[in-house]
Amino acid sequence: MKIAVRNVFDKVFTGLTRASIVLLVLVLAVVLGPILYRGSSAVVFRGTVEFRRMQFAVFGHGDEQQIQSEVQQARAVRERVYEIVDEFKKGIDASALTERARKIHRDFGQELRYRQTPHEQYAELRSLSRDIRDRLEAAFEASDKAQVDESIKYVMQYRQDERLRDTIAAEYFQMAGDFQRAAARVDLAKRAEYAEQLKDVEDILFCADDRPGLLGPRPGELQPALVMNQYGATRWDQAKALLDRFLWEEKWVEQEKGKPLVKVKVERAKIFEGTELEPLFAYVRDNVREMLRPRWTFYWRYFFDDSASGHYFGGVGPEIIGTLLLTLLSMLFVIPLGVVSAAYLVECASENMVVRIIRMCINTLAGVPSIVFGLFGMAFFVLFLIPLFDGPSKPCILAGSMTLAVLTLPVMIRSSEEAIRTVPQEYKEGSLALGASRFRTFVAVTLPAALPGILTGVILSLSRVAGETAPILFTAGVALGPVPDSVLDTTRTLSYGSWDIAVGNRISALVPHKQYGMVVTLVLLVLCLNGLAIVLRSRVFRKLKGQ
């Protein structure tokens, strides 16, 4: 082949290798980028006053005075929202008004008995009250303005009646007046539609059955049972999403026949056009900052706090502890085992059948799926080995770390073997020539020289072990539990936690920052441990090179 052609091939080859690394970095960016970005928003984000309130109530962090004053300020701005909603409800919420009318009737009867009115008067007043109540109910239920006006007029003629004036029955007339004013501004035919829309609006603003709203439950109303629903939007991005849903309703409409529907946004204010609720939307949009008071927060306690309300709030402190314990303990088991095995395979073994069987077994071990390790770990370590030493026969960190050690043994053995093999023969021969025994040569000369390669194996193993879920599912992990006191306890871990949120939990869609936060914490933890090992490796390397 001509030199020119060979050079072209050479350049192409070099280009290809460069391209592969670029591809790798690109893949890393594409996979890790969104995860890192969203995960970091678990620690650095704009928190609202609801967040600070929650931190104080649930975890006890923060200055009580400051938080109280902030809450008061926010409440002052929110008052108008409550007012507008209440006013509107007066006009359309028929069942509440009916309920109230009935209560007035009952209380009136009680008051008459209390005043010991004579029997005939009592009967007459009661029947009058009943009549007024029924007329009011008819007015509340009516969908025709003329009917409403007629009923209210009938009721109002008794307004000046002195028998009713100083009693509870006077409230009837106030209700009637309020209702008439409200009804004048409401299109009664659309009442059912308004009621449904209002429910949606209230769900978004305050609190829906199963998810929190923008401002949180109204003060004075019954608090939801789950802690996560007791507070409003704790993060500003959450708040903005809710605000968007509040101002715009999403509808799927058919634009072309025979094609999928298309998403269309309809302004909610238009639905309530002409009613009292319309100014609510502009008010909320303009004042949401004062109502929520967002502020840049650096939630460093994320790494120390316990999680609350099933991971919706709080941090990943116990999970970090669990992952660290499991990883370090399993490294403690696997490093000696791996290095010793590698030493045997390189130094003492000759290429006979036994060694070939050992190698095949090591490779097979590498191919066993992690779920099988989990089952094996449970059957062997939890149910057999630990009880053999009088331990309790239940999942624990010890069993989990032993399982993980077996999982990562092949990688450790393989890397250590490569590392020990690459130590130049001259080192070994020199040491032997000086009269050292083979054991001493290995420990004092070969091992330190192979340390960088062994540390590579440690790094790979660490990463694998910290990220595994299936083996610890049955042997050491729990989804919810206290911080472990000893190695004979179960523990939560970052890997199990992120799997749990992603795969089992409904709220995962609501808290993407929590999911990714856990994954990012895991990656950061592994990177820190790796970083230590890398620093150690380069130090040892430099020492070996004689610098």
Partner 1 sequence: MDKAKSGRVLQTAADSSQPLLLTPTEDLKGFLGLHLGRLTLLLITCTSVLAVFLIFLFIAIEAFPFLTKVSLIEFLTSTGWYPESYEKPEFGALALIAGSIYVTIGALVFAVPVGILAAVFLSDIVSFGIRDFVKPVIEILAAVPSVAYGFFAVLVLAPWLQNRFGFATGTNALNASLVLSVMALPTIISVAEDSISAVGRELREGSYSLGATRMETVLRVVIPAAHSGIIAAVVLGMMRAIGETMVVWMASGNASQIPHPWWDLSQSVRTMTATIAGDMGETAKGSDHYRALFAVGLLLLVMTFLLNMVSEYLLARAKKRLGKQ
Partner 2 sequence: MKRTICCSLAIVLLLIGSGLAEAAEKTLHVEGSTTVGPIADAFAEAFKKMYPDVTITVNKSGSGTGAAALVDSRCDIATMSRAMKEKEYKDAVGKGVFPFGHVVAMDGVCVIVHPSNPVSELTSAQVQDIYLGKVTNWKQLGGPDMKIIPVSRDTASGTYDTFDHFVMKQQKMAGHVEYVSTNPQAFARVKTTQGAIAYVGFGFVRRGVKAVNLDGVVPTRDTILSGQYPVSRPLFMYTNGYPPLGSIVQKFVSFHLTEKGQALVEEAGFVPVTRY
- Tell me which stretch binds partner 2 (CB under 8 A): 36-44, 94-102, 285-293, 327-335: 327-335
User: Would you state the structure tokens that stand for residue 31, as one six-digit string?
Assistant: 């996979």
- Tell me which stretch binds partner 2 (CB under 8 A): 5-13, 112-120, 271-279, 328-336: 328-336
Q: How far is the CB of 32 from partner 1 (least distance, A)?
A: 7
Contacts of partner 1 in 512-541 (CB under 8 A): 515, 519, 522-523, 526-527, 530, 534, 538
Bridge partners, residue 296, by sequence: 46
Bridge partners, residue 44, by sequence: 298
Q: Is 75 in contact with 267 (CB distance < 8 Å)?
A: no
Q: According to the binding rule CB under 8 A, does residue 340 interact with partner 1?
A: yes
Nearer Cβ to partner 1, position 59 or 344? 344
227-266 footprint of partner 2 as x/- string (CB under 8 A): x-x----------------------x-x---xxxxxx---
Binding partner 1 by CB under 8 A: which of 332, 360, 443, 444? 360
Q: According to the binding rule CB under 8 A, does residue 14 interact with partner 1?
A: yes
Rounded to 10°, the helix 397-421/447-467 angle is 140
Contacts of partner 1 in 387-426 (CB under 8 A): 406, 409-411, 413-415, 418-419, 421-422
Nearer Cβ to partner 2, position 40 or 505? 505
Q: According to the binding rule CB under 8 A, does residue 369 interact with partner 1?
A: yes
- Give the whole-angstrom CA distance, residue 54 versus residue 220: 17
Contacts of partner 2 in 400-439 (CB under 8 A): none
Q: Is 379 in contact with 399 (CB distance < 8 Å)?
A: no
> Hey, what's the torsion of the CAs at 471, 472, 475, 480, to 10 degrees?
-150
Contacts of partner 2 in 29-48 (CB under 8 A): none
- Tell me which stretch binds partner 1 (CB under 8 A): 5-13, 134-142, 166-174, 274-282: 5-13
Q: Which of 41, 141, 189 is nearest to 514 (CA)?
A: 41
Binding partner 1 by CB under 8 A: which of 325, 343, 449, 476? 343
Contacts of partner 2 in 493-532 (CB under 8 A): 500, 502-506, 508-509
Q: Which of 463, 456, 462 is nearest to 415 (CA)?
A: 456
Rg (CA), the chain: 36
Q: Which of 422, 455, 467, 460 is nearest to 535 (CA)?
A: 455
Contacts of partner 1 in 445-474 (CB under 8 A): 453, 456, 459-460, 463-464, 466-470
Q: Which of 175, 96, 108 is nearest to 135 (CA)?
A: 175
Sorted by sequence, the CB contacts under 8 Å of residue 270 that are 6+ apart come out as none
Q: According to the binding rule CB under 8 A, does residue 480 interact with partner 1?
A: no
